[in-house]
């Protein structure tokens, strides 16, 4: 019988390992002690909150670097990172240069090199109505 893992803060790898363990023990004959343990463990696993601590693999779409096509101030940006970097300035030429940056990391570097707009601290975390939106 597979050894039952301990419960704690779960990473995605831990959840996948637990799901694998649950599938392994599901092959045991019905009504065995292991089957009852598997059902209990699976129920506990399903009720635990998920914690996503990295935007990699299947969660990369949550990253600011994900190629998502974001509309901001009437212009389409290749990623959220591009739009955020462009929001740091009111200069249309600087925004166009950031929009044309080859990748999100390049856009971020350009945004860090800008002279920030005077109201940046007040507008950098705005309400959802002023945040970048999908097209």
Asked whether residue 115 falls in the same domain as residue 72, the answer is: yes
What does the pLDDT read at residue 55?
A: 82
Asked whether residue 82 falls in the same domain as residue 122, the answer is: yes
pTM: 0.57
Give the total residue count for the chain: 135
Residue pair 47/68 in contact (Cβ under 8 Å)? The answer is no
Asked whether residue 73 falls in the same domain as residue 97, the answer is: yes
Asked whether residue 100 is domain-assigned, the answer is yes
Asked whether residue 32 falls in the same domain as residue 68, the answer is: no
Asked whether residue 68 falls in the same domain as residue 27, the answer is: no
Considering its fold, how many domains does the chain have in total? 2
What does the pLDDT read at residue 24?
A: 54
Asked whether residue 58 is domain-assigned, the answer is no
The series of mean pLDDT values per 10 residues for the chain, 135 residues long, is: 46 62 52 55 65 82 87 92 94 96 94 92 65 49
Asked whether residue 55 is domain-assigned, the answer is no
Asked whether residue 103 is domain-assigned, the answer is yes
What does the pLDDT read at residue 5?
A: 44
For 41, the domain range is 12-47
Asked whether residue 93 is domain-assigned, the answer is yes
Query: Which CATH number is 73's domain given?
Result: 1.10.357.40
Residue pair 105/65 in contact (Cβ under 8 Å)? The answer is yes
């Amino acid at each position: 019988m597979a050894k039952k893992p301990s419960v704690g803060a779960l990473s995605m790898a831990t959840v996948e390992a637990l799901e694998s363990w649950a599938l392994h023990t599901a092959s045991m004959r019905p009504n065995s002690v292991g089957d009852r343990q598997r059902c209990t463990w699976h129920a506990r696993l399903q009720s635990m909150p998920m914690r996503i601590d990295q935007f990699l693999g299947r969660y990369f779409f949550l990253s600011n670097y994900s190629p998502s096509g974001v509309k901001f101030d009437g212009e389409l940006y290749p990623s959220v990172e591009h739009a955020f970097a462009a929001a740091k300035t009111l200069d249309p030429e600087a925004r166009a240069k950031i929009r044309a940056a080859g990748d999100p990391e390049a856009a971020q570097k350009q945004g860090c090199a800008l002279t920030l707009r005077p109201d940046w601290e007040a507008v950098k975390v705005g309400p959802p109505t002023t945040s970048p939106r999908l097209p």
